[in-house]
Amino acid sequence: MLADSTIEDRYIALIERLGKAGTPHIDFEPISDAGLNLSAEASREIAKRTYSQGVAVTREVVNSIRLGRTSSVKKVKRAVQMIVDQVLTNETSIIGLTTLRDYDEYTFTHSVNVCIFSVALGRKIGLTKLQLYDLGMTALLHDIGKAKIPLDILNKTHGLAEEEWRVIQAHPWSGAMTLFGLRGYQEIPYMAILVAHEHHMKIDLSGYPRAIRPRSLGIFARIVAVADGFDAATTRRSYQTVPVEPDQVLREMWNNPKRGYDPIVVKALINLLGVYPVGTCVILDSLEVAIVAQANADPQLLNRPSVRIAIEATGGLVAPPGVLVDLSERGPDGNPLRSIVKVTNPERYGLTVGDYFL
């Protein structure tokens, strides 16, 4: 049973007072659904509620900054705590929601998606739960500098002029200064300020903004850069006519060193999402069309994820959420029952990927 808002506020206030008092060796967690024995449908509902709250909080923060008002960091903290809890207990459902791709609310959904991917990556490489909270805050606020960019530039449907591009490139510095201002009122992790400034830098310090002196990017910046790059590349924008398929994006991130991503973090992303990332539309050798739902937990079987059958071999449409099948299942002869033949564009079949994760 979820705690009501009064209990949540008291919990956050208690943690802040203990932190200011320097109280050691005490680790409290908020009341949540984590650990409860829930049905798949109930788990999806909790994941949707968590995702929606993350989007709402991000929208509120961005709009407040656009209007020059101070935003509540407490709400951001609570949204991040819920996302971390979901990644730890219900990773498949919450990652599936990153496929919703609401183009009209890209600024907000992108930040939530980057938070989800970053926390899942942090978990993959062994960060502690408290570190995941800080990483989640950092990721959710990484693009906060875009709140200072005029909407006519941010939502432009064709190529940017040189001056407009310079405005876009200024958002990391603007984000760092915005978070520095918020830090004066309420607690913001120091790393959030640094990552807002660094998330478009490459591991060789090229990219933007230009580094003034040699240094190494921190692990949070490396994680957020990979999560940001993957989500941005797999989301069709207003100026794109054809979306890039997730498997192509992963391949480019891994094979092209000019992209400047940390290869260890990219490898962790591949292990997290599989060779065919969640949301990829595939054609099976059974002539069925399916949506990838979950990576195989076995690193040796990353090419055999679980999928949701969306179109039967006869051509009949299967209503969302489709029929879940594991491509690692084998028949009596030892051969796989189904295999992926190729990736395809879901729009060819009239499919909306996000429908299969609602």
This prediction has a pTM of 0.85
pLDDT digits (tens, 9 = 90+) for 325-339: 999 999 999 999 999
Q: How far apart are the first and last CA of the chain?
A: 21
| Average pLDDT of the chain, as a whole number | 86
Q: Which of 195, 185, 184, 94 is nearest to 144 (CA)?
A: 195
Question: Residue 189: inside a domain, yes or no?
Answer: yes
Query: Rounded distance, CA 77 to CA 75, Å?
Result: 5
Q: Hey, how many other C-beta atoms are within 10 angstroms of the C-beta on 301?
A: 16
Query: Rounded distance, CA 62 to CA 167, Å?
Result: 17
Whether 299 and 215 share a structural domain: no
DSSP 127-157: --HHHHHHHHHHHHTTTGGGGGS-HHHHT-S
Tokens representing residue 66 in the block = 């656009």
Domain end, chosen from 255, 273, 291, is at 273
**DSSP SS3 for 58:** helix
Question: Residue 75: inside a domain, yes or no?
Answer: yes
Query: Rounded distance, CA 124 to CA 133, Å?
Result: 14
**Using an 8 Å Cβ cutoff, are 201 and 208 in contact?**
yes
* Number of domains observed in the structure of the chain: 2
Whether 212 and 334 share a structural domain: no
Return the pLDDT at 144. Answer: 94
Whether residue 120 is predicted with pLDDT greater than 90 in this model: the reply is: yes
**Using an 8 Å Cβ cutoff, are 271 and 317 in contact?**
no
Whether 321 and 244 share a structural domain: no
Stretch 140-168: mean pLDDT: 87
Question: Residue 20: inside a domain, yes or no?
Answer: no
Q: Which residue is associated with the tokens 């984590």?
A: 34
* Structural domain span for residue 347: 281-357
Question: Residue 25: inside a domain, yes or no?
Answer: no
pLDDT digits (tens, 9 = 90+) for 184-211: 556 788 899 999 999 999 999 888 988 8
Confidence grade of residue 226 (pLDDT, cut at 50, 70, 90): very high
Type of residue at 307: V
Whether 159 and 305 share a structural domain: no
Query: Rounded distance, CA 181 to CA 274, Å?
Result: 39
Longest CA pairwise span in the chain (Å): 67
Cβ contacts of residue 240 below 8 Å, gap of 6+?
none
Confidence grade of residue 1 (pLDDT, cut at 50, 70, 90): very low
Whether residue 340 is predicted with pLDDT greater than 70 in this model: the reply is: yes
In SS3 terms, 168-188 reads as HHCHHHHHHHHHHHHHCCCCC
CATH number of the domain where residue 60 is located: 1.10.3210.10
Whether 197 and 99 share a structural domain: yes
Whether 188 and 333 share a structural domain: no
Question: Residue 211: inside a domain, yes or no?
Answer: yes
